Amino acid sequence: MTSSNENKTQSAVERPSRDEAEAAVRVLLRWAGDDPQREGLLDTPARVVRSYEEFYAGYQVDPREILARTFSEVDGYDEMIVLKDIRFESYCEHHMVPIIGRAHVAYLPQHRVVGISKLARLVDAFAKRLQIQEKMTVQIADTLNEVLQPAGVGVILEAAHQCMSTRGVHKAGVTMVTSRMLGTFRTDPSTRREFLSIVGNPGAVAIANT
């Protein structure tokens, strides 16, 4: 869950103008050793700013609003709901390079359910920000738990981090797995096993991190 302090910090940030953002890109191009005025780079600052608007669109979204509309006419359905293999693209807050992976999100409803597309949108709302995977896992799970108040929530993220594959240790093909289990997903081993079985049991890390 995004804390109130974090929300206040984000809302208090004074957003620069588009011209200021493009000027900052020109500075970085010069720092890299190239000439922003050469033909191939003339439009690069504008392209980068437009890309950032897409990459970091999550800052303009209230994740709780995504889950605001729920449905109670489910004919007593009270079994696990799972949306797996939700592809996401996020960005490392330490190096601003991509984190690309997939999310598995599940909850055990008590009275109400939410449209399945909303689960994917919830993942994107937190992914399209500067992130670390551990925090993103907690934010998705805690928001779902707070708004829907289900009997339990399970979230597993599997992702590759380009800060490991393209710099630093240069270890390609490494996948990081994080999880957050709440309610019955934490207290009931059979519920947790069912969830892990449905999503393909992405590893013992998912159990160890509950």
**Angle at the Cα of 20 from the Cα atoms of 19 and 24, rounded to 5 degrees:** 115
Ligand-binding annotation for 170, yes or no, is no
The residue annotated as part of the active site, out of 131, 139, 161, 194, is 161
Q: Are 160 and 100 in contact (CB under 8 A)?
A: yes
Structure tokens at 127: 């992914």
d(CA 159, CA 145): 23
The residue annotated as part of the active site, out of 89, 95, 146, 162, is 95
The residue annotated as part of the active site, out of 22, 131, 133, 194, is 133
The residue annotated as part of the active site, out of 10, 93, 110, 111, is 93
Phi-psi region of 69 (alpha: psi -120 to 50; beta: other; left: phi over 0): beta
Catalytic residue flag (residue 95): yes
d(CA 99, CA 15): 24
Catalytic residue flag (residue 94): yes
Catalytic residue flag (residue 170): no
Catalytic residue flag (residue 93): yes
Structure tokens at 4: 């109130």
Which residues are annotated as part of the binding site? 92, 95, 163
Tell me which residues are annotated as active site.
92-95, 133, 161, 163
Which residues are annotated as part of the binding site for Zn(2+)? 92, 95, 163
